[in-house]
A and B are shown apart, each in its own frame.
Chain A
Amino acid sequence: MRRISRRGFFKVTAAGSSALAISSTKKAFGMKEFKGYPDSMGVLVDLTRCIGCRTCEAACNKEHGLPEPEIPFDDFSVFDQVFHDGKRKRRTSDSAYTVVNRYDDTSSGAPVYRKIQCNHCNEPACLTSCFVNAYTKTKEGAVIYNPDVCVGCRMCMVACPFRIPAYSYHSALHPQIIKCNFCYDTRLKKGKPPACVEACPQEALTFGHRKTLIKIAHERIRSDPDKYVDHVYGETEVGGTSWMYLSSVPFDQVGFDTSLQHHPILDNTKSFLGFVPMVLGIWPAMFMGFHLLSTRGKEETEKKVSENK
């Protein structure tokens, strides 16, 4: 198959360098933390600019040749749709890579619109939880998926902290994960912004280098502190994401999960995975020792018993 994976590469490098030079363990530890590719691109979504026109949804649908939606893109009644007893608004699905939802600002009563799609994490949970390496984080920042090796365990859907990946459950022969790919093949690879960004009439979406976008975001907050919540959502959430958000209302009021950890999801499994080679190394000798200790004594007593007879 393709390539040594990024993760695999870093693991080997980290292990190798620590083995070669014990004095440079600090360096090896440093390698374990991945803060994203230096030239990673991203998109800054400014909720204060979004008017809920759904142009981005339409552009995405067209770009990826997705099926025509039941309710057309110029019909805003979709914003009133709720599911599961009102607990869930519209979400990404096997026919929509991106979705805009409307929330109500509790203080002003004005509507706030929020676009959701794959946030393209720096260290994605979908990628690190996939046991066939179906995901790749490209150097441009996109998290792309390869359906040719996917077994369909749906671990990535469980792992995604933003609940983005969808699955084509109704396909018997070619079921696959369906999610936003940052228009990687058609645009990003060529240095062009994704279709939704290009289509946005409000400039609510800003495409650029992730590093630059972080600066722009903080600059906007600084120049208008009364307007914005002092937080760039996605700057540090789950280790940082390529897509980031600015908002005028507290993020948890517009559907964002503000309880997310600020380090990669992968970190949660590291302590266990570190334990694995130790078990493989120690258990055989330890249990063979137990075996010898517990059976040798017994054989002797059994012998004695038979001798006494």
Chain B
Amino acid sequence: MNHLIVNKGYQPIDSLNNPDNGQKWSLWRKLLLGLSPSDYFRQVLRNPFNWVLGLIFAIGLPVIIYRYATGLGGVMHASYDYPWGLFLGFGLFCMVPLSASGFLLGTTVELFGHKKFKPILRLALLNGLLGYFFAVVYLLVDLGCPWRLYYPMFVSWGTAAVLFLVGWHVATYLSVQIMEVSEAFFEWVNWPTAKKFIHSGTIGLTVAGIILSTLHQGALGTLLCYAPGKVHPLWYSQEFLWIFYLCSSVFAGICMVIAVSTVVEKTMSWRCGSEFLDNLGPITIGLAKGATMALVTYLVIKIIGIIHDNEWAYLTTGWGTWFMLEIGLGVILPIILFSIGIRKNSVGLVRFTAFLTILGLMMNRLNTALITFNWDLYQEIPHPLEAVITVTIFALFITVYRFILYRLPILYTWKTVSEEELVSIADLDSTQTQQAAVLVDTAGKESLGPA
């Protein structure tokens, strides 16, 4: 994408005012990233990734329409033994732990005051928000009557159900995260009062995030406590399943931030501010330290789980091999690789390990919710159209994610100038405008703090 804009000497919009004339950017120009409509659309068509996305949507969107036209039976096996498929197995059970990033980095930066991680905070918050949002989108596809999504909130309360807690918490936490991310939005649309208002509640929102995350990450695990015997004993633990889920969401969320920041740095460095780019290396190593601690803890409690339920005999079966593969590839290998990466200060190795850990986490969630489910009955491979819809919604997730990252000040710092400076810029003649623009630029950079 950046080839064409670099050719034109393109500067992405990162400030309230156009540095060339001191005028405020219009919303329209902000949406088009400062390009003219024709340039913008040429840009969109040039990027081969957009064609891939387009192809996915061309196939997937009709399938989604087909799902609503014919009911779930058209795109699923309509199995009574496997009521849940990929939409929940991937969309809810994998997306939610991978979106723990928001509350984790919020806690680190805002609550514990580790300002070192501040440059990546907004990315982590956005990752959390979008992950939860798209978990709900997956839910809208999966639910038999998606138009009744609000029923557990307003119509009929099943207060003894764990899913009731999950539903309420995901809804509340989604609003908390919208508020947390809205700071960036208010900067972008230039509404300082609203930003200040939200900012004053940061600590409250962060603590709310911790409470809600502790409970619903754990509750996802507890959901499977309704199905003892259906979930394989190695993955089931009546006492500890919730804490397995909570603990693994910690390294999952951290690794997701490392993974996303890697993709961002490789594919949209033009959009990243210097504060983000310059600090990304040490931040990645720092995040890896946190993830390693969570991974070690997770390994320990998983072993305690086996001891507690005395499940050693299962380890020698085929399911046991599969279990050890999951732990080996998704937990032990990442611990080793992270340790080497941290010691050698190798950002590349840490990033590779983060991707590996994410795969391991997904393996765990799919194992508990789908693969080992009905382990003593028969195994079912999801319907192909189910996979098509799952991929389509994930492509939509990436599209929305990228759309926001291109525009809102998530990866860069939004520059504003004071009123007096504005007046002086307006008064200057054309030659002086150039100097003023430089001034604004330096002012913006200074506010970044020690880089």
Contact = CB atoms under 8 A, between A and B. Distances in A.
Interface of A: 1, 5, 7-8, 11, 84-85, 87-88, 91-93, 125, 128-134, 149-155, 157-159, 161, 163, 165-173, 175-176, 257, 259-261, 265-266, 268-269, 271-273, 275-276, 279-280, 283-284, 287-288, 290-291, 294-295, 298
A273 B168 CA distance: 14
Which of A176, A269, A284 is packed against the most chain B CB atoms within 10 Å? A269
Given A169-B72, A269-B162, A287-B111, 14 more contacts: A129-B161, A131-B167, A133-B156, A153-B142, A153-B143, A155-B226, A158-B83, A159-B226, A176-B144, A271-B238, A283-B214, A291-B112, A291-B207, A298-B113
Interface residues of B, number: 62
Contacts of B203: 288, 291
B152 interface: yes
Interface in B192-229: 203, 207, 210-211, 214-215, 218-219, 222-229
A131 B238 contact: no
A7 B238 CA distance: 21
Contacts of A298: 113
A171 B207 contact: no
A154 to B, nearest CB: 4
Nearest to B169: A276
Per CB-CB distance, the 6 closest pairs between chain A and chain B, nearest first, are A152-B144, A169-B73, A170-B73, A169-B78, A154-B83, A159-B226
Which of B163, B166, B238 is packed against the most chain A CB atoms within 10 Å? B163
A169 B219 contact: no
A250 to B, nearest CB: 17
Contacts of A157: 80, 83
A250 B71 CA distance: 41
Contacts, number: 190
Contacts of A288: 203, 207
Given A175-B145, A259-B229, A268 B158 contact: no
Which of A165, A287, A288 is packed against the most chain B CB atoms within 10 Å? A287
B70 A150 contact: no
Contacts of B338: none
Contacts of B230: 158
B377 interface: yes
A171 B144 CA distance: 9
A151 B151 contact: yes
B211 A280 contact: yes
A93 B166 CA distance: 29
A284 B211 contact: yes
B156 A169 contact: no
B214 A131 contact: no
A11 B148 CA distance: 27
A134 B156 CA distance: 8
Contacts of A155: 161, 163, 223, 226
Nearest to B160: A7
B161 A268 contact: no
B81 A276 contact: no
B53 interface: no
A151 B80 contact: no
B385 to A, nearest CB: 13
Given A163-B81, A171-B71, A271-B239, A151 B377 contact: no
B145 to A, nearest CB: 5
A280 to B, nearest CB: 6
B71 A287 contact: no
B80 A91 contact: yes
Contacts of A269: 162, 222, 225-226
B160 A132 contact: no
A11 B160 contact: yes
B80 A272 contact: no
B108 to A, nearest CB: 10
Contact of A149 (B142, B155, B380): B155
Contacts of A134: 156, 158
B159 interface: yes
B162 A129 contact: yes
Contacts of A7: 159-160
